Amino acid sequence: MNASAGPSAEPAPAGAGAGAGAGRGALVFVGFMGAGKSSAARIAAAAASGRDPLDSDRLLEQRFGHPIEVEFERAGEAAFRAAEEELVCSLLARAGPGEAISLGGGAVGSERVRQALGSHTTVLLEVTVELAWERAGHKRRPLARDRSEFERLYESRRGLYEDVADAIVPGGDREVIARALPELRRLADARRAEGHGARLVWATSASGDYPVYLGPGLLGPGAPWPALPAGGASRRFLVTDEHVGPLYGDRVGPLAAPAVTLPAGEQHKSLEGAGRVWRELAGAGMTGHDHLVALGGGVVGDLAGFCAATYQRGVAVVHVPTSLVAQVDSAYGGKTGIDLPEAKNYVGAYHQPAGVIVDPDLLGTLPAPELAAGYVEVLKTALIAGGPLWERVAEGQQPDEQMILGCARTKLQIVAADERDAGPRQTLNLGHTVGHAIETATGYARYRHGEAVGLGLLAALRLSGQDELCDQVRALLDARGLPVALRGADPEDVLAAVARDKKRTPEGVPFVLVERPGAVCPGTLVSERDLRAAVDELAAGG
C-alpha cells in the first residue's frame, strides 16, 4: 500500500463530513487479529477502482512514526485507543462507494466508531481463536503475548463484531474473499440505493460457496432482490406448492415458464412428485444453463433441490424458504431428497444451492401449527450450539430474525467443516433418528416433521441420561402446544423404522447424544433395551 496516497495521508478531523457529502457505501472489514482484514481490503479496493485501501493500523503507524507496539509501550492502550478512534471516525466520514477500509481488531470497541459504521457496509471476517493465535501469537502484537488473555479478549469482542456486521465471511482465505466480493458489492449497492437492512452470510463447503441473504422485506412487493443468479443467459424456473405459490410466486422475479406447483404435504415428497417436476421442466424447455427456484418449506426445498441435482445431471438451485424449519435449517447445506414408504429421505443427493434468500416477514402467513413445528429445529440447533443461542431459547424467547441468523450460522459452520456427514455434521441429526422413524411409522401423515423431531429430541435426551434437560425441553415443547407423547403409532413399528435408518452401520444405528447444551456426541451406539425403554416412555406419555 502507498500510505501517502489519496485521502489517507491527511484524514479530516473527527466528525467531518456529516450531512451533505458524508461518507457512505464503503466496504469496511472488521474482525479479530489474524482474520486477514488488510488482505481483504486490498482485494476489494483493487477490484473496485485500483486505488489503495485505507488501513487504520498502517495510517496510525504513519502518524506515530513508529510501530503500534511501540506506541502501546510509550503511551499505553487508552491513549492509543483515543488516537485510533479519531482517525477511524475521520476515515469513515470521508470514505465512499468503491473504497475499502480495514480496521484494527479493537476499533469497534468505540461507540463512536460503531455509530459511524452505520453509513457503510461492515464485513466481519470470522476467524477461529486457534487460527488467530497461530497467526498473531508469534508476532510482536501487544495483545497477543499471553494465550489465556488472548482467548479472553477474543470472546469479549465476538459480540461487538457480530452486532456491527452487515456481512459475515470466513476470514483467512483470500480466494474466499475474492469469490464473495461480487455479493458484498451487491449488498453495499442495495443498502446505499434502497436503504435495505439485509444481511449477508457467505456459506462455504468443499463443493462450493454461496450467499445467504437474510432480512425482512427481501421478498416484499417490488423487492430489490429477485432470486439469484442475476444476469447472464440463465432463465428462472420455479417449484412451489399450492399454498405458497399464490402468496409469493410473483415475488421471485420473471419466470421462463409457469411455476411447477405441487400439493402441500410430506407425502408428496416422493418419487411421483419428483417425476412430475422433471417432466414439467423438460416440457417447458429448461436447459442445464438455467436455474431453479425452490419457494416453500422443507418439503419443497428437499424435493426441488433433489430435482435440481438430477435434472440434466445438475442445474443451479436457489432456495427461498417460507417456513421456519426451512429458514433455520433445511435450506442450507445442500442435502436434498425424497421419501420412500420404507423410510424417510432414502433417495437423495448433496447439491449445494447457488444462493439462499431468507425473508422473515414470510413467516407472517404461516399457520400457527407450522410455526410451532418449525420451532423444534430452533430448539435442536440451540442444543447443539449452546452459548447465547441456547440461553435465548431456554428462556422461552420467540424466534426472530436474530435467532434465525444464529441457527443458520451454526449449521453453515458445521457444514463448512464437514459437508458429507463424515463427522461433525452428524450432530445435526440430533432427535432425527427416532423422529424420522415416527414419521415413517405413521405414513408421513399424522405428525409434521418438527413435531416428530420434538419427540425424537425427548428420546435422545433420555438416552443421554439428561433427565433434567429432558424435562426442560418437554416444557418448552408443551408451551407451544407441541406433542410430548407418542400417539397413533405402535412402538414396535417405530423401532422397526429405526432399524432401517439410512445412517445405520454394520454395528448398529448411531445416535446423537447430549452431554450438555453446546456439547453433543454423534456416532453413539445405544442398547436395544435402552432404545425400547425411551420409545415406550414416549408412548406412555413421558
Do 154 and 253 share a domain, yes or no? no
Question: Residue 382: inside a domain, yes or no?
Answer: no
The C-alpha cell of 355 is what?
444462493
Question: Residue 269: inside a domain, yes or no?
Answer: yes
Do 191 and 123 share a domain, yes or no? yes
Q: What is the pLDDT of residues 31-63, one digit of tens each?
A: 999 999 999 999 999 988 667 899 999 999 999
Q: Are 284 and 312 in contact (CB under 8 A)?
A: no
* pLDDT exceeds cutoff 50 at 12: no
Instruction: Give the CATH number, domain containing residue 141.
Output: 3.40.50.300
Q: What is the pLDDT of residues 362-416, one digit of tens each?
A: 999 999 999 999 999 999 999 999 999 999 999 999 999 999 999 999 999 999 9
pLDDT of residue 231: 58
Residue that terminates a domain, selected from 333, 366, 399: 366
Q: What is the pLDDT of residues 236-271, one digit of tens each?
A: 999 999 999 999 999 998 999 999 999 999 999 999
Do 360 and 451 share a domain, yes or no? no
Do 40 and 136 share a domain, yes or no? yes
Question: Residue 465: inside a domain, yes or no?
Answer: yes
Instruction: Give the CATH number, domain containing residue 484.
Output: 1.20.1090.10
Q: How far is CA 375 from CA 32, 109, 152, 363, 469, in A?
A: 33, 34, 33, 12, 17
Do 115 and 43 share a domain, yes or no? yes
Do 30 and 143 share a domain, yes or no? yes
d(C-alpha 106, C-alpha 50), whole Å: 27
Residue that terminates a domain, selected from 327, 350, 366: 366
* pLDDT exceeds cutoff 60 at 5: no
- The band of 430, judged by pLDDT with boundaries at 50, 70 and 90, is very high
pTM over 0.85: yes
Question: Residue 388: inside a domain, yes or no?
Answer: no
Question: Residue 318: inside a domain, yes or no?
Answer: yes
Burial 151-189 (b: 16+ CB within 10 A, else e): eebbeebbebbbebbbbbbbbbbeebbebbbebbbbbbe
Question: Residue 207: inside a domain, yes or no?
Answer: no
* Number of structural domains found in the chain: 3
Do 432 and 533 share a domain, yes or no? yes
For 318, the domain range is 216-222+233-366
- The band of 7, judged by pLDDT with boundaries at 50, 70 and 90, is very low
More confident residue, 535 or 188: 535
Do 156 and 283 share a domain, yes or no? no
Do 79 and 181 share a domain, yes or no? yes
Helix (H/G/I), strand (E/B), else coil: 115: helix
- The band of 189, judged by pLDDT with boundaries at 50, 70 and 90, is confident
d(C-alpha 297, C-alpha 316), whole Å: 18
Give the residue from 146, 129, 170 showing the smallest Cα distance to 32.
129
Question: Residue 24: inside a domain, yes or no?
Answer: yes
Mean pLDDT of the residues in the chain: 91
pLDDT of residue 82: 97
pLDDT of residue 528: 96
Instruction: Give the CATH number, domain containing residue 267.
Output: 3.40.50.1970
Q: What is the pLDDT of residues 447-505, one digit of tens each?
A: 999 999 999 999 999 999 999 999 999 999 999 999 999 999 999 999 999 999 999 99
- The band of 171, judged by pLDDT with boundaries at 50, 70 and 90, is very high
Question: Residue 490: inside a domain, yes or no?
Answer: yes
pLDDT of residue 22: 42
